[in-house]
Every structure is written in C-alpha cells, then in structure tokens.
Chain A
Amino acid sequence: MSRLNRNVASLKAQRETKLDQTLIQGGLAAAQATINKALQYDPATQAKLVKLGGKTLGIHMQQPNVSIYVRFGDSLHLQAHFEGETDTDLSGPASAFINLARHDDKQAALMKSDIQIRGSSQLAMGLADVFSDLQIDWEAAIAEWTGPVAAHVLGNNIRRVGQWFQRSITKVKQDTVEFVRDEWQASVHEIEGEQRFSAIQKLKLDVERLDARIQRIKHQMDSRK
C-alpha cells in the first residue's frame, strides 16, 4: 500500500474511532438526571409523559452519527442501545434536531423539518406537543436552595435581565438591518423587495402563458399539415 493510501486509511480510522461506551454512558446518565430533575418542576408535562409509559423512541442523528433511545415510564430513561422494537424512530441530521429543540411550535417544526418518522407518528407528534407546552418552574428549583422569598427576588431579577437582553438583541438586529439598508445602501427595503419579487413572479407567469400559447399555435399548424 502506498504511503498516501496508508495515511488516508489512518485518518479514516481516526475519524471512525468510536467514543468509549463508558463516556457515552456517563453523558447519558448526566443528561437523564438533568432532564428528569427539570421535569419535576413541570408536573403537568411530567404527568403527560408518564402516560407514555412502556413506549420507546429512537432518535438517530447523522453528522455526527449518534443514536439515543428514550424509554418512557415514571421517568425518562436514555440509552445508547436498545434490544427490541422501538415504537417510533426519528432520523435526520443533527442540525434538524437542534432546530426542532429551539422552535416553540415543535409540531409545525417537526413537519417542516428534514426529520423522517418511522413507526407511530402519533407518538412523535404527541411528544412534540408535550414539549411545546413545557414550562419549567425555575423559581421552585432555586427555592430548594435559597428558600421561596429569595428565590422570588432572584427570579424577578433574572427575568428583568433576560427581558433586557431580549430587547437589546431585537434592537441590535433592527439597527443592523437599517444600517445596511440606509447607510451602506447594500440592500433594499422589505416593501421594495416584495414588490420586485411580485413583479418577477408576474413576469414568470406571463412567460409561461406565452410559451403555452406558442406551443398551442405550433400544435395547430402541425395538425393542419
């Protein structure tokens, strides 16, 4: 085997080297504990998940290739391997799953995404609906450490800071759009853009109608011959 081929084979082997199962189990155990702890602060969501007891969901991500199995019961159980048939499998690129996690309306996001559903779509949609309504009572979690009064004060301050960040990010986005449009003149106004795109769409339809008319005339002339 040439030196180049040996180097390529070695690089491939490194890329394909699997993570030790001990590390994977450690990650899953930590994630499971965190999720179950968080769910304790949203009893309504937890109750809905308990109703799914006995069902198993397989999540198969590509790029990177990772499979996680979620067993539903009194609590969620995450596994790297599952013996038996899952009720539902979701497959797709990791980016699609991340996008799904970020969307508020998870049902709509799941339907529009590149994620393929195998098995019971009812389970997948049901879960998307459950997690869309997830409302974790963070104050209750903090209150376990600080007491209810301090947790409430802390919670208010965190909410205030969070709202300030939200407003700031929205303002920065707006200011950037205006700067690019009005100062740099590197883009057009949204209304102008929409008008231009409408005109292009109308032109496209007109061209298609003209093409259809030409084809009809051509057909008529060919049939007379």
Chain B
Amino acid sequence: MSDTPNNSDQNTTHFGYQTVKTEEKQEKVAEVFHSVAAKYDIMNDLMSFGVHRLWKRFTMEFTGVRKGDHVLDIAGGTGDLTMKFSDLVGPEGKVVLADINDSMLKVGRDRLLDKGYSGNIEVVQANAEALPFADNSFNVITMAFGLRNVTDKDQALREFNRVLKPGGRLLVLEFSKTKNPLLSKAYDLYSFTALPFMGKLVTNDAESYRYLAESIRMHPDQDTLKGMFENAGFANCEYHNLTGGIVALHKGVKP
C-alpha cells in the first residue's frame, strides 16, 4: 500500500512530480540522500537562511522530554535533534538516531562524535515502515523533514504508534501548505528556481533539490496529515503552522 497518487493496477506512487513503481521510490530517495549527505547541513542553512534551526527549536518545546526518557529521532540524518535530546535525557536516558540512509547516518554519527556526543546515543539504520524496535519502547518520537520521503506514510505512522509507550508523543516536523496566496507564489518561485540553482552551485546536483521542491508539493496538507495521524491510532492530534504554513509541526499522543 502506498500514498496518493496511486494506480492500483500498476502499484505506482509519486517521486516528486514523477510517477514511479512503488518498490522503486525507496531506491530513488536513497540516491538523492547519498548524493546530498556530505553537504546536507550547509544546504539546510543556505536554503532556509538558518530558519530551520528555529523550526527545530519550536519542535523541541513540544517534546516534554525529561531525564531518563527514551527518544527515537527517526530520519534523524545528521543529528540536529539527537544532540538536543542527548543533553535533555541525561546519562540515564537513551536517544536512538535512526535513518534509512547509511550515508546520512555516517555523517550524523561523525558529527555527533566530533561534538563529543556518544554515551547515551545509539545509531541505527532503520526503515520507518518497519522499525526494528519492540512495542512500547519510546517516550517520544520525532521526525524532522523525513515523512515526505516515506513511500507508505500510513504504515510508518502505524509503526510509530506501535513503538511508542502509552502516553508517548509523536512529533512530525515537515514542509506543508501555505494558504497565503502571495507567500505561496514567492515560495514556488524560490523553490523551483533558487533551490536547484543553489544545489547545482554547492553540491553540483540540481536534480536532487528539484526533487526536494517537488516532494514538498506532493506531501499531504496539514488537515490531511492530521487525519492520517488519527487513522494510525493517535489521540489529541494537533498541528502548528510555522512561517505562514510553509512548515507545520504535527503532534499526536498514543492513548
């Protein structure tokens, strides 16, 4: 099963604006992130003018993480949130940095080690659609700018629900849809001209950043994603728009 658009006869899904076979999407996404991993952090700062740090800061406020907690940072890539969690949970807690892409994980692991983070962090290569963790393992799960790359988002959300402890919370930070027509036009212009240009300049890979812009447009909007959270079994689902709705933080609690 995969998310819309879906042709049930051919079992296809979207990869940006392209339609591809469902089983090929994961490989194509993997190629993108193998290509961008080395310069991922620089590009994040360049593309968002550093604002992604504020979006992640906002996310941390909703986690309610305390000393001793177990946290899963899925699609955690280069470890931005993992570092913050490591400080908060303390030596009695545990943070799992998980990502399906080994290139991103290597960059993340090396970055964490360079900054002196290791004791309470575990690095795991994992697919969000089939998490290698026992039921009721984590107090908090965060996924920052990763859900739009998942082939079967509903399955991933069900997996998150499974591995969360009762009362645990899921936070998904992701690009979303703005309702402001002026902002929307400016955002489209920026996404489809400036981002591929920056990608070409910095990483010599314009296509990966074109996929980035396209995948954002194919991601569900705020209310649709909230509905998906509810279908996956989460309660008290809510979302908060950031930067006029360009980014949204979705939250759900496992009952």
Interface residues of A (CB under 8 A from B): 20-22, 25-26, 28-29, 54, 79-84
Question: Are the C-beta atoms of A20 and B63 separated by less than 8 Å?
Answer: no
The 6 closest A-B pairs by CB, nearest first: A83-B64, A25-B54, A81-B61, A22-B243, A79-B61, A25-B57
Contacts of A81 in B (CB 8 A): 58, 61-62
Contacts of B54 in A (CB 8 A): 22, 25-26, 29
Contacts of A26 in B (CB 8 A): 54
Contacts of A54 in B (CB 8 A): 67
From known contacts A83-B61, A83-B62, infer whether A21 and B51 are also in contact, taking CB-CB under 8 Å: no
In the assembled complex, the Cα of A100 lies from the Cα of B6 at a distance in Å of 61
Nearest-CB distance from A112 to chain B (Å)? Answer: 33
Q: Does B240 contact A (CB under 8 A)?
A: yes
From known contacts A79-B61, A83-B61, infer whether A21 and B240 are also in contact, taking CB-CB under 8 Å: yes
Question: Are the C-beta atoms of B63 and A22 separated by less than 8 Å?
Answer: no
In the assembled complex, the Cα of A54 lies from the Cα of B61 at a distance in Å of 15
Contact of B66 among A20, A25, A28, A84 (CB under 8 A): A84
Q: Which single residue of chain A is at the shortest CB-CB distance from B60?
A: A79
In the assembled complex, the Cα of A83 lies from the Cα of B66 at a distance in Å of 10
Nearest-CB distance from B241 to chain A (Å)? Answer: 8
Contacts of B5 in A (CB 8 A): none
Contacts of B241 in A (CB 8 A): 21
In the assembled complex, the Cα of A25 lies from the Cα of B249 at a distance in Å of 14
From known contacts A22-B51, A25-B54, A29-B54, infer whether A80 and B61 are also in contact, taking CB-CB under 8 Å: yes
Question: Are the C-beta atoms of B242 and A22 separated by less than 8 Å?
Answer: yes
Q: Does B55 contact A (CB under 8 A)?
A: yes
In the assembled complex, the Cα of A3 lies from the Cα of B135 at a distance in Å of 58
Contact of B63 among A21, A80, A83 (CB under 8 A): A83
Q: Does B244 contact A (CB under 8 A)?
A: yes
Question: Are the C-beta atoms of B58 and A21 separated by less than 8 Å?
Answer: yes
Q: Which single residue of chain B is at the shortest CB-CB distance from A26?
A: B54
Contacts of A20 in B (CB 8 A): 242-244
Q: What are 10 of the A-B contact pairs (CB < 8 Å)?
A: A20-B242, A20-B244, A22-B242, A22-B243, A25-B57, A26-B54, A28-B57, A54-B67, A83-B61, A83-B63
Nearest-CB distance from A19 to chain B (Å)? Answer: 12
Nearest-CB distance from A180 to chain B (Å)? Answer: 51
Contacts of A82 in B (CB 8 A): 61
User: B230-255 toward A: CB 8 Å interface, digit per residue (1/0)?
Assistant: 00000000001111100000000000
Question: Are the C-beta atoms of B64 and A84 separated by less than 8 Å?
Answer: yes
Q: A20-B243, A22-B242 are in contact. List 17 more A-B contacts (CB 8 A).
A: A20-B242, A20-B244, A21-B58, A21-B241, A21-B242, A22-B51, A22-B54, A22-B55, A22-B58, A25-B54, A25-B55, A28-B57, A79-B61, A80-B61, A81-B61, A82-B61, A83-B62
Contacts of B243 in A (CB 8 A): 20, 22
Contacts of A28 in B (CB 8 A): 57
